[in-house]
């Protein structure tokens, strides 16, 4: 299934990377170590096409180490 998806929809050989560049829309709530649910907005590049994208993310800040967890729901068009 993954091979079919990569070959027929994503053309992973031709477009091996995806990229998201965005901003946290509510950064004022991040005030120290902890886990924060935030909204982010930016540009998502997939399959050579860039589109505006807004989603929710979880940010974990621990001793000046930042990690982010987020999922992208993407509509596939054959």
Number of domains making up the chain: 1
* Within-domain flag for 4: no
* Within-domain flag for 78: no
* Within-domain flag for 77: no
* Within-domain flag for 5: no
pLDDT tens by residue, 7-65:
666 777 887 888 999 999 988 878 889 999 999 999 999 888 899 999 999 999 999 89
**Rounded Cα–Cα distance for residues 50 and 36 (Å):** 27
DSSP 5-29: IIIIII-TTT----EEEEEES-GGG
Q: Say what the pTM is.
A: 0.69
* Within-domain flag for 46: yes
What is the extent of the structural domain holding 33? Answer: 17-70
* Within-domain flag for 10: no
């Amino acid at each position: 299934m993954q091979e079919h998806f990569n070959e027929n929809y994503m053309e992973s050989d031709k477009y091996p990377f995806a990229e998201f560049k965005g901003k946290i829309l509510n950064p004022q709530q991040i005030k120290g170590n902890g886990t924060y649910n935030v909204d982010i907005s930016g540009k998502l590049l997939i399959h050579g096409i860039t589109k505006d994208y807004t989603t929710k993310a979880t940010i974990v800040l621990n001793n000046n180490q930042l990690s982010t967890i987020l999922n992208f729901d993407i509509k596939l068009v054959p």
